[in-house]
Amino acid sequence: MQTVADELGLHTLAVEAAETERQRPKFNRYQNHDFVGAYAVRLDPQTGELITAEAATFIMPRALITVHKDEHFPTGDLLAHLDANADLTVHGISALVYALLDFVVDGHFDTVQALDDEIEKLSDMLFDDRHHDGEVQRRSYELRKSLVQLRRVVLPMREVVNTVMRRDVDLVSPAMAPYYQDLYDHVLRASEWTDSLRDLVSTIVETNLTIQGNRLNVITKKVTSWAAIIAVPTAITGFYGQNLPYPGFAHRSGYLTSTVLIVVLSLALFITFKRKDWL
């Protein structure tokens, strides 16, 4: 890296940023070159984990130099994207920068779409006949974590693209201006979509907790109703189990009276609770 920096006259701070991991997406100007830091992202559908690949880019008058900090950056896909936009290369370095940023932002869009699909599946699980409380909680945490990471990558791209488009930077040629405008629109849409998904995940978590609370209330209501029914025979048999004389004591009539009271009162409570949907 130092050999390349000495050969091309790269600024020390830009080289340091290219060698340091977990940099914030940014655009910096130096004396004889510009520097762009950006992230390519993709979502692992199995784990819900967001996989990021950082790339540092040196923009020179006649060259575009990318430094990949790990093996996750899809270099082959980037080259294919550049080949697909080969007709724009007549506009010089601004076309190469556009192809790079467009490739990165398209990856952001695909990832947001994948997260949206996963969150939609999560929403369907909330009202499934079978309970998926544990899975919903785990998946919600995974997706919320991925959305937080994605937001850190997507939001700064608005500033990056906006700075690149500034006239005083003099990087975008007039012929490429419409393409950059379209790119900036995609960045805004990806940012807004990411924020809306974060709110949606929070709503799903709150809804799941509300459903669990309602389910617990129903269970408590049913248990209380059965306890009330069971209390009837307990009270009657306790009364008739007294060791002292009372009407029907030690006679068949007392046994029949207690039995009838247990059946009638228990049945009456059962019917009442059933009508009120407590059972």
- Quick one: 84 and 183 in the same domain? yes
Residue 234 and residue 210 in one domain: no
CATH of the domain at 125: 1.20.58.340
Do residues 182 and 259 both lie within one domain? no
Decide which of 182, 197, 215 is a domain's last residue.
215
Domain boundary among 194, 215, 236: 215
User: Do residues 117 and 40 both lie within one domain?
Assistant: yes
pLDDT value at position 87? 85
Tell me if residue 174 falls in helix, strand or coil: helix
pLDDT at residue 61, as a whole number: 87
Q: What is the pLDDT of residue 185?
A: 93
Q: How many residues belong to the chain?
A: 279
Q: What pLDDT shows up at residue 267?
A: 87
pLDDT of residue 157: 92
Q: Do 181 and 240 fall into the same domain?
A: no
**37 phi and psi angles, rounded to 5 deg:** -115, 130
Same domain (yes/no): 60, 9: yes
At residue 9, φ and ψ (nearest 5 deg) are: 70, 40
Helix (H/G/I), strand (E/B), else coil: 69? coil
The model's pLDDT over 100-151, given as tens digits with 9 standing for 90+, comes to 999 999 999 899 999 988 888 888 877 776 766 677 788 888 888 888 889 8
Do 167 and 254 have their domain in common? no
User: What is the residue range of 249's domain?
Assistant: 220-275
Q: Which of 171, 190, 215 is the last residue of a domain?
A: 215
Place of tokens 């049945």: 267
Same domain? For 30 and 114 the reply is yes
User: Position 215: which residue type?
Assistant: R
Same domain, residue pair 174 and 251: no
Q: Can you spell out the DSSP letters for 7-65?
A: HHT--HHHHHHHHSSSPPPEEEE-SS-EEEEEEEEEE-TTT-PEEEEEEEEEEETTEEE
pLDDT of residue 1: 83
**DSSP letters of 217-279?**
HHHHHHHHHHHHHHHHHHHHHHHHT-SS--TTTTSHHHHHHHHHHHHHHHHHHHHHHHHTT--
Pairwise CA distance, residues 107 & 100, whole Å = 11
Q: Answer yes or no: are the C-beta atoms of 220 and 138 closer than 8 Å.
A: no
How many distinct structural domains can be found in the chain? 2
Integer Cα distance of 119 and 138 in angstroms: 12
Under-50 pLDDT residues of the chain? none
d(CA 265, CA 260): 8
197 and 161 in a common domain: yes
- Shared domain for 89 and 51, answered yes or no, is yes
pLDDT at 105: 92
Distance separating alpha carbons of residues 153 and 191, to the nearest angstrom: 9
Distance CA 161, CA 66 (A): 17
**Residues 198 and 253 occupy one common structural domain:** no
State how far the Cα of 241 lies from the Cα of 41, in Å rounded to an integer. Answer: 75
